[in-house]
Amino acid sequence: MDRQLDNEGTKRKADEDIVEIRSRCQSSPQDFINMTTWAAIFIWAGLVLLPAKVNLITALTNWGVWSLTFIGAGVIVLLGMLICLLWSECARPKGRRLILTLILLGIGLQGVVGWQIIWPVVLITIGISIMLRGIFSLR
């Protein structure tokens, strides 16, 4: 009888452990978006960095390879942030993602537009983002 109770207790403990492991392994929508975003950035960088004879992306533009790489990475991060905004189960995106987007786009566009225009636009956008976050958090 004692042995039967011990086996049931052990089985119950094993079941609880399995449930705990499953809950830790299930990823959130935010994790899925982050994983997909980084995978897309690496795929984009690989496509842009292919040799010019093979790559249509760099052949169709006058921009440099690194400019296209950083612009694409910035757009991909921005798309991930927009998906988080539209997907109700996803946690709200953080300001860090917006700042990363602006920095990537700034680095990519510096060869096209120039630093004299990029950094003021980046600073203004960050300031507006902080202001809007403050206004909406008061509600």
Q: What's the confidence (pLDDT) of residue 62? A: 74
Looking at per-residue pLDDT, the higher value among 35 and 60 belongs to 35
What residues does each domain of the chain span? Answer: 30-137
Give the SS3 label for residue 66. Answer: helix
Q: How far apart are CA 134 and CA 105, in angstroms?
A: 24
- Strand runs labelled E in 4-134: none
Looking at per-residue pLDDT, the higher value among 84 and 76 belongs to 76
Q: What's the confidence (pLDDT) of residue 139? A: 58
Q: How far apart are CA 77 and CA 70, in angstroms?
A: 11
CB 69 within 8 A of CB 105: no
Q: What's the confidence (pLDDT) of residue 95? A: 75
CB 47 within 8 A of CB 55: yes
Write out pLDDT tens, residues 19-43. Answer: 555 455 456 777 788 888 889 999 9
Q: Is residue 58 very low, low, confident or very high in pLDDT (cuts 50, 70, 90)?
A: low
% of the chain surpassing 70 pLDDT: 68
Q: What's the confidence (pLDDT) of residue 30? A: 73
CB 35 within 8 A of CB 96: no
Q: Is the pLDDT of residue 127 over 70?
A: yes
Q: Is the pLDDT of residue 116 over 70?
A: yes
* Arithmetic mean of pLDDT over the chain: 76
Residues 6+ apart with CB under 8 A from 10: none
Q: Is the pLDDT of residue 122 over 70?
A: yes
Q: CA–CA distance from 40 to each of 76, 83, 111, 128 (Å)?
A: 7, 14, 23, 28
Give the SS3 label for residue 38. Answer: helix
Kindly report each contact of residues 49-52 with a partner whose C-beta sits within 8 Å and lies 24 or more positions away, as own/partner. none
Query: Averaged over 93-103, what is the pLDDT?
Result: 80
